[in-house]
Amino acid sequence: MEVDGQSSTKGEEEKRKAIVVILVGAPGSGKSTFCDHVMRVSTRPWARVCQDTIGNGKAGTKTQCLASAASALKDGKSVFIDRCNLDREQRADFVKLGSPQVDVHAVVLDLPAKLCISRSVKRTGHEGNLQGGKAAAVVNRMLQKKELPKLSEGYSRITFCQNESDVQTAITTYSALRPLHTLPSGCFGQKNPDAKIQLGIMKFLKKVDAPVKAVSTGHSLQDSVTTEITKENDSCCKGPEGIKAAAGKEVKEGEDLAVGSVDGTSSLNNVPTLAFPSISTADFQFDLEKASDIIVEKVEEFVTKLGNARFVFVDLSHGSKILSLVRTKSGQKNIDTDKFLTFVGDITRLYSGGGLHCNVIANAANWRLKPGGGGVNAAIFSAAGPALEIATKERAGSLTPGKAVVVPLPSTSPLFSREGVTHVIHVLGPNMNPQRPNFLNNDYIMGCKVLREAYSSLFEGFASIVRSQEILYEKKTERIEKHGSVLSESPVDFEISHTNQLSSTDQKVKREAVDESEKNKRCKGFQEELRPNISGATDGKDNAKNEKNSRTMSKAWGPWAQGLYRIAMRPEKHDDVIEISDDVVVVNDLYPKAKCHLLVLARYEGLDQLPDVGKEHLQLLMTMHEVGLKWAEKFLNEDGTLVFRLGYHSAPSMRQLHLHVISQDFNSKHLKHKKHWNSFNSPFFRDSVDVIEEISNSGRATLKDDDKLLSMELRCHRCRSAHPNLPRLKSHIGNCQAPFPASLLQHGRLVLAPNKDGSNQ
């Protein structure tokens, strides 16, 4: 037993990840106090690196800080970087301390300047001697250069603290970190700026109305916006909302930490994931040791059956005994930590509160399948709204111990739209509480049998959802093949990547398959198509209504459609990116449909397509348009005969909001099908300036995603003459001298070289 214990300890040491926490804040924001509070109570070994004291108690250099931090990491400690770090350049070298074994976090103490100045002026005996009257001027000067960090700098997690309550929450989070704990990736706490944009957007549109001037002078469109608009931070930023726990306890963002590495931004997005609480150990008072044995036994059984699917065991408290038991026993069984995770947080806010994507959640239900009572049942019914109760009634009226029922969640439920939950599985376990129905009077032989049945029923229900997803992928493959594309791999493995290490022939086959399928089929996504195949809960008009509603929700995308998303989130890993900024990435279209065809990708998590865009994203849309115009201008300087159009597809096949910047010659060997042509020359293509104006006025863009638009007859985009096939059309447009239609020449929809009127000269 001692040998096993030693082996387990060694394994834990290998899995331990150090953390570098870069504190960002003005003097007086509380950086040193933050470190002191955490280091006083944390069981994780920490080292504080402070530039004010790095030189034998006196101020030192940044180089000394870097050396000290590297030494502490080598000793197995996590590190606080206690400097102001108010601009990106000051932080960059510390971010480079990150590695596969070291996560880099930022904690931003973005407190009001008045508070920081007041603290700095009043304090005495400060390590860096910044106190008294001179402090105010220093703080003001430093805050003028403040540049808030973004995930694109290389952080795995950023926590923004904008008041003292936020700071205390962050202190609690890091104080609770044990040596093997990690925190979910993402950006937490930053509020969207309250920018007044109407005046700015109208002036922006006026500037777009004059493309000749913009191109000839080279002015940035931003110059036309006189209203100050603050840039948004990454869209994955989410405030640390208090979460109403089932037992009446308040659980905050700081408590949402995972055991095992959880990448909330990517790794769980496309993997079927079930989040489940402990069944029967709370209200039904089942013995925790026996329950934990059964949980681990059943997880071990099903985790091998379900392949790529994942299980997440959830509890509200770090002090949960059942969570600790399950974690320990699963470790002893060597269950793959990529397939089975434990997670501390509210099961109804796993994504918004902790960055964890779970498309299925389990409910420890009562036999009546009714809301109310306490615990998880009350919390899930409350979070899901009336839609869950109605959908549950359509599936079952009651539940017997040991059984489960799968309930597809309507798109009208807040759990669907906010958390991405597509199904709730109600499950009922055995009862050892004499105050509850079906009391077993401590008969643990029967109780254990029923609890095993309960987890088996739960996991079988999840398996049915996973199998249905696989069937959908198979159907998608058949559709692609039917349209003449060649797929050499399964849809799950079929992914587009600019840096796939394949032979040139294999890479061409893969990319060609994506190119052919991008317009011939539009990925409807797991959330839209799975419900009718599983539920049987809706039909006819209700089903059609749900389909319509779900288009405005964030859908799940097939793995092959993730190429642009990967580039946007990790552009540094892709060699053929031609521009990177905090907000956008620019790439050439892999299979351009014209001489010049590039894509401007939004670097915002959660913005997959136009239906995801609202008024809060106006500044981003303007930035994307400005970048697109800049590149159009560059091309026009090289070839003045070109004409450009900037716009979005109403229903793209590839995930991640992207703006097409495409020349109107359409001279390309990759323009092969009617749907290719109509996707750029019908109402299916939404001009960028129109989208910006509609979002500004009504908060959403008008979308034309009818399949009929893509199958319309082929018409010249200049003279509107009809043609029987694409070769005839391409031959015609190569010689057509007609001016562009008046509708395109208005409102800045076309970007032309100076002195051009839209006709060939």
Query: Exposed (0-12), middle (13-18) or buried (19+): which is 437, by Cβ within 10 Å?
Result: exposed
Nearest to 703 by CA among 635, 626, 650, 743: 650
Token code pair at residue 332: 């002893």
- Minimum mean pLDDT range among 119-128, 227-236, 510-519: 227-236
Question: What is the band of 705 on the pLDDT scale with cuts at 50, 70, 90?
Answer: low
CB 323 within 8 A of CB 285: no
Clarify whether 658 is annotated catalytic.
yes
What value does the mean pLDDT take over residues 372-383?
Answer: 86
In whole angstroms, give the CA distance from residue 686 to residue 458: 45
pLDDT in tens, 164-195: 888 988 998 898 888 888 888 888 876 543 33
Question: What is the band of 514 on the pLDDT scale with cuts at 50, 70, 90?
Answer: very low
At residue 573, the pLDDT reads: 82
* Residue 229 pLDDT > 80: no
Q: Other CB atoms closer than 10 Å to residue 699's CB: what's the count?
A: 12
DSSP per-residue string spanning 260-306: S---TTTTTTTS-EEEE--SSSSTT---HHHHHHHHHHHHHHHHHHS
Q: Encode 555-580 in three state secondary structure.
A: CCCCHHHHHHHHHHHCHHHCCCEEEE
At residue 60, the pLDDT reads: 87
At residue 544, the pLDDT reads: 39
At residue 679, the pLDDT reads: 94
Give residue 298's identity as a one-letter amino acid code. K
pLDDT in tens, 651-670: 898 999 999 999 999 999 99
Angle between helices 321-332 and 2-15 (to 10 degrees): 100
At residue 287, the pLDDT reads: 95
Nearest to 489 by CA among 472, 473, 467, 465: 473
Question: What is the band of 470 on the pLDDT scale with cuts at 50, 70, 90?
Answer: low
More confident residue, 725 or 557: 725
* Residue 450 pLDDT > 90: yes
In whole angstroms, give the CA distance from residue 350 to residue 421: 10
* Residue 755 pLDDT > 90: no
Percentage of the chain modeled with pLDDT above 90: 40
* Residue 13 pLDDT > 70: no
* Residue 556 pLDDT > 60: no
Please tell me the number of Cα atoms within 13 Å of 682 on its side-chain side.
22
Percentage of the chain modeled with pLDDT above 70: 72
What value does the mean pLDDT take over residues 83-108?
Answer: 92
* Residue 513 pLDDT > 90: no
More confident residue, 509 or 15: 15
In whole angstroms, give the CA distance from residue 255 to residue 346: 9
Query: Exposed (0-12), middle (13-18) or buried (19+): which is 761, by Cβ within 10 Å?
Result: exposed
* Residue 99 pLDDT > 50: yes
Query: Exposed (0-12), middle (13-18) or buried (19+): which is 669, by Cβ within 10 Å?
Result: exposed
* Assessment of whether the complete model's pTM goes beyond 0.85: no
Question: What is the band of 215 on the pLDDT scale with cuts at 50, 70, 90?
Answer: very low
CB 564 within 8 A of CB 604: no
Token code pair at residue 467: 């199998």
At residue 479, the pLDDT reads: 56
Please tell me the number of Cα atoms within 13 Å of 345 on its side-chain side.
29
* Residue 258 pLDDT > 90: no
Q: Over the chain, what is the mean pLDDT?
A: 76
- Minimum mean pLDDT range among 118-127, 423-432, 598-607: 118-127
- Minimum mean pLDDT range among 6-20, 547-561, 587-601: 547-561
Residues in the chain: 761
**Annotated catalytic residue, options 597, 649, 658, 676:** 658
Enumerate the β-bridge partners of residue 662.
597, 645
* Residue 203 pLDDT > 50: no
At residue 262, the pLDDT reads: 38
* Residue 138 pLDDT > 70: yes
Question: What is the band of 271 on the pLDDT scale with cuts at 50, 70, 90?
Answer: confident
At residue 397, the pLDDT reads: 84
What value does the mean pLDDT take over residues 325-335?
Answer: 90
Question: What is the band of 210 on the pLDDT scale with cuts at 50, 70, 90?
Answer: very low
pLDDT in tens, 340-360: 988 888 899 888 877 788 999
Question: What is the band of 383 on the pLDDT scale with cuts at 50, 70, 90?
Answer: very high
* Residue 137 pLDDT > 80: no
